[in-house]
Amino acid sequence: MITIEFVVILLCLLTGTRFGGMGLGLISGIGLFILCFVFGLQPGKPPVDVMLTILAVIGCAATLQTAGGLNVMMQFAERLLRKHPQHITLLAPFTTWMLTFLCGTGHVVYTMFPIIADIALKKGIRPERPMAVASVASQMAITASPVSVAVVSLVSILAAQHGLGHAWGILEILAVSVPASLFGVAIAALWSLRRGKDLADDMEFQEKLKDPKQREFIYGGTETLMNQRFPKQAYWSTWIFFAGIAVVVLLGAFPELRPAFEVKGKMTALSMNLVIQMMMLIAGAVMLMACKVNASAISNGAVFKAGMVAIFSVFGVAWMSDTFFQAHLEELKLALEGVVKSHPWTYAIVLFLVSKLVNSQAAALTAVAPMGLMLGIDPKMLIAFFPASYGYFVLPTYPSDLACIGFDRSGTTRIGKFIINHSFILPGLIGVSCACAASYLLVQTFF
């Protein structure tokens, strides 16, 4: 019966991914219904705390976008890239990494892709080199951002472990995930410097240039934010957003700054979940009032829409998986406890594969990490293998990868004949594996 129930979950995940994040959340509801009404399992608990924290973060980031703050950040990033075009392959991934790190979502970097392609082509650099690793870097930064859905989810999961071992805070998680993520991106970028043929030696590319229309299409367009002027309120919103992030990190680093309340006879500092929710709401409110933001336009932005889809996918997937794992916790412990304790890297493999199935780092974490804790995995291993939550580059179906392919007019960033041999697979594998290795060493060394 456990096997059949697990197959039902897998079928729902596989079917849901065909329809994107919304489809994943909706079809997970079908799986939940089958588990409850057909197999008689008691429904688990939906991740309400995680969803509310994500909602607060998305509301703040969407307000920032509406105020023009995201455009300010991207203009600054473009200025850096155009100042050093010869180093585009190294600078592009760190630029997209930083944008995601600051905003908490990789969906903010789409505007950078045509700019990266334009700079590479004008410098005679194969666009695939900077573009593929830039797309990968934008997603790897999610595990390093203090306001990303994935980090918020992990903070919530570890905070809910009810005193099992060391109490991990957001600052300790970031102290591991930020350098590990940067290390993975750096190695992937260095590898990308020599990938593929130079444009002058690429016969397929040279054949395209023989057609005047193709040549005009490849070299004709110029994407830029350099000449745009933004109102002063756009700059204000950027600094307000940064201030909100800084307060979150400060309160995470110094729990004594948070108010304490008596819980079950013990004084406990206000949880970081609630701190993040409060500060993101406050930052969004200050932007709304001080930066002349059109409140009705906030929900129409790309960040808000992408964030709501993420909430919905986390809702459905986590509720369905929690129902299964709670019902069979004892059986799973007997079968898997010894394996995951003696070989904790198996947790990383499961997390990596599930992230591909659900196309979301946060959804993968909310489905797999609580199960790992239940099976007795040391909580620090969840942090050590946090980078493994990014596995959806394996098949080129994620929006950022597809957008990257579409913006590369040279055609060098592409999906291969056998699907799996696409432009993102090697930088992704290099980046994630190196980040996991660095994260594991940091955890073992300092904690």
Say which residue the tokens 């608990």 belong to.
45
Q: What pLDDT, on the 0 to 100 scale, is given for residue 446?
A: 85
Q: What pLDDT, on the 0 to 100 scale, is given for residue 337?
A: 62
Instruction: Report how far residue 328's alpha carbon sits from residue 424's, in angstroms, rounded to the nearest whole number.
Output: 37
Instruction: Report how far residue 338's alpha carbon sits from residue 344's, in angstroms, rounded to the nearest whole number.
Output: 10
Residue (of 410, 320, 337, 413) closest to 372 by Cα position: 337
Would you say 29 and 270 are in contact if contact means Cβ atoms under 8 Å apart?
A: no
Q: What pLDDT, on the 0 to 100 scale, is given for residue 444?
A: 92
185 sits in the region (left: phi over 0; alpha: psi -120 to 50; else beta) called alpha
For the chain, state the CA radius of gyration.
22
Q: What pLDDT, on the 0 to 100 scale, is given for residue 398?
A: 73
123-157 tens-digit pLDDT? 889 999 999 999 999 999 999 998 787 887 888 78
Which residues lie closer than 8 Å to 200 by C-beta, 6 or more apart? 124, 206
Would you say 412 and 201 are in contact if contact means Cβ atoms under 8 Å apart?
A: no
Q: What pLDDT, on the 0 to 100 scale, is given for residue 277?
A: 86
Amino acid at 168: W
- What sign does the CA torsion over 71, 303, 174, 246 have? positive
Strands 266-269 and 260-263: antiparallel
Q: What pLDDT, on the 0 to 100 scale, is given for residue 177?
A: 95
Token pair for residue 417? 């004949």
Give the count of beta carbons closer than 10 Å to the beta carbon of residue 261. Answer: 11
Instruction: Report how far residue 420's alpha carbon sits from residue 406's, in angstroms, rounded to the nearest whole number.
Output: 18
H or E element that contains 428:
helix 425-446
Length of the chain: 447
Which residues lie closer than 8 Å to 381 by C-beta, 6 or more apart? 344, 347, 372, 443
Q: What pLDDT, on the 0 to 100 scale, is given for residue 428?
A: 96
Q: What is the pTM of this model?
A: 0.75
Residue (of 93, 114, 101) closest to 193 by Cα position: 93
Would you say 86 and 119 are in contact if contact means Cβ atoms under 8 Å apart?
A: no
Q: What pLDDT, on the 0 to 100 scale, is given for residue 305?
A: 81
- What sign does the CA torsion over 204, 130, 391, 320 have? negative
Say which residue the tokens 């099976």 belong to.
375
Counting as low any pLDDT under 70, the low residues of the chain are 17, 20-21, 107, 160-167, 221-223, 329, 332-340, 357, 397, 399, 419
End-to-end CA distance of the chain: 40
Instruction: Report how far residue 287's alpha carbon sits from residue 413's, in angstroms, rounded to the nearest whole number.
Output: 38
Give the count of beta carbons closer than 10 Å to the beta carbon of residue 339. Answer: 12
Would you say 347 and 340 are in contact if contact means Cβ atoms under 8 Å apart?
A: yes
Q: What pLDDT, on the 0 to 100 scale, is given for residue 332?
A: 67
Residue 203 pairs with which residues in a beta bridge?
none
3-class secondary-structure state, position 268: strand
Q: What pLDDT, on the 0 to 100 scale, is given for residue 162?
A: 47
CA angle 387, 390, 391 (to 5 degrees): 125
Would you say 236 and 290 are in contact if contact means Cβ atoms under 8 Å apart?
A: yes
Token pair for residue 31? 């799986």
Which residues lie closer than 8 Å to 269 by C-beta, 6 or more apart? 255, 256, 258, 259, 260
Instruction: Report how far residue 408's alpha carbon sits from residue 422's, in angstroms, rounded to the nearest whole number.
Output: 14
**Which DSSP string corresponds to 22-63?**
HHHHHHHHHHHHIIIIIS-PPP----HHHHHHHHHHHHHHHH
